[in-house]
Chain A
């Protein structure tokens, strides 16, 4: 398996001089094709900034980013248009990620412009809606306020899937959903990996969710990537004190963690 995305010492500093905030202090990692990687950390750890760097929505202030063999550290407008055909994202808040004045059709129609062939674009839209369990005719005419939170989030996933992205990034995409809906959305991500070979990067503060979907975990603390490895290693044999503390503080549903590790 080859690495789809390679980040080498990628950095982001906001402001300068005395007021500089080092949001990401040099992160090096690889995303292997067809796997799910979770970036775990508490608020202020820089995980969302890292997501925006990977998405090309924020310019980095150091380090390099390589996608599919080409350098994507700095992108012109045209280059980013092309990049976003391969890399798509689903964001945290299904309310604010929707333009409330657009119908679903309008929202998806906009993304269709990135696909040259009109007919293919329409086919892909139906296909993408199918992936998330919607019948196109049921939802296209609807405004966001007519959809529930979970439905909205699935529409956002469908929007991202229309590009048939090689990399799908989910930034806290499930944190505002109820437990039951959350597993449904996470299952969609797992199915994408298994059926379409999509590479997925999820950003979450919830180690339980990370554990459920991801093969690889990256742990961030205050801008530093303090630990990375397979989910099994990171969760059940954490090396860094921060990871250990994080795991100790997570409330458990069934007994204590120690008892469960064989």
Chain B
């Protein structure tokens, strides 16, 4: 596997965000609920790290709130992502592989869940719950977000179902679950990883939207809550940019870095998307054990060769050549 520069850039950002969320609270070392100053004190009013971003409407350190909030958002995102991916994976796998009635039923269910505006469900659920900690919030987000994964996984599983190795496995006496786990799942693991990253990103955004509406976790700070306070206490009106810009930037950074990683993973798993990177032709190196099979690119059915390749003059650099890399 060769990773692109995009991947390393995205991964670096993700690691940065993770460090902020999980190491940050120990470095800043100030309780986000403690008042250290007055209403909207400017950054740098006092000494130390907790003053880097000034104070918020309650005189609490914005810096401290930001790192704790990031941790909350990441936790909610990860837990919700795991829940959504697990449900989606199981349902998508079974539907895609089993086919027939079972597929109709499962996909019907998926489409129904998909059709219900999930934000409404999330709001109703969060309002009706007696207490809202980050786990219930993550659970609520998770059980409304799985249909996307289910659909993506089902589409992939359907294409694996027609491969001959499934028939070979059946005739070898393999049982339903064994085939699902060993013959279908490995073929779509890369998609599951990508879907998981997307689920995490979208769960973090959902959590922020909820918190901004005042439906966030009740006893803990999150990025969305910071925005909620900033809005409610008129930080924009008084020009206290340090109260709303940092959480906005952090949220953007989290989502952006995850999307970047996802799309660069797509490139790795799906070589067709790789840009036409021209590598320098190295003069013949001494013989090695490269296989002869590199020769004779096989015509892949369904490859998007298109009219361009038919006479091929237009196939510009970077356009797909129809599977020469093996």
Contact = CB atoms under 8 A, between A and B. Distances in A.
Direct contact of A and B (CB under 8 A): yes
Interface of A: 52, 55, 57, 81, 84, 88-89, 91-93, 96-99, 101-102, 107, 110-111, 113-114, 148, 156, 159
Nearest to A91: B164
Nearest to B186: A101
A124 to B, nearest CB: 13
A97 B173 contact: no
Contacts of B186: 99, 101
B275 interface: no
Contacts of A102: 182
A159 B168 contact: yes
B165 interface: yes
A89 B171 contact: yes
B173 A92 contact: no
B31 interface: no
Contacts of B165: 96-99
Contacts of A156: 168
Nearest to A106: B182
Interface string B218-236: 0000000000000000000
Contact of A92 (B164, B170, B172, B293): B164
A114 B172 contact: yes
Contacts of A107: 168, 172
A37 B165 CA distance: 24
A96 B170 contact: no
A101 B181 CA distance: 12
A47 B139 CA distance: 51
A89 B166 CA distance: 12
Nearest to B293: A148
A96 B183 contact: no
A99 B182 contact: yes
Nearest to B162: A96
A99 B163 CA distance: 9
B169 interface: yes
Most buried by A among B163, B172, B183: B172
B167 interface: yes
Contacts of B163: 96-97
A89 B172 contact: no
B182 A111 contact: no
A89 B173 contact: no
Contact of B173 (A93, A99, A110): A110
Contacts of A52: 167
A202 B171 CA distance: 17
Contact of B172 (A96, A101, A110): A110
Contact of A96 (B164, B169, B174, B182): B164
Q: Which of B171, B172, B183, B293 neighbours the largest number of chain A CB atoms within 10 Å of its CB?
A: B171
A92 B171 CA distance: 15
Nearest to A94: B164
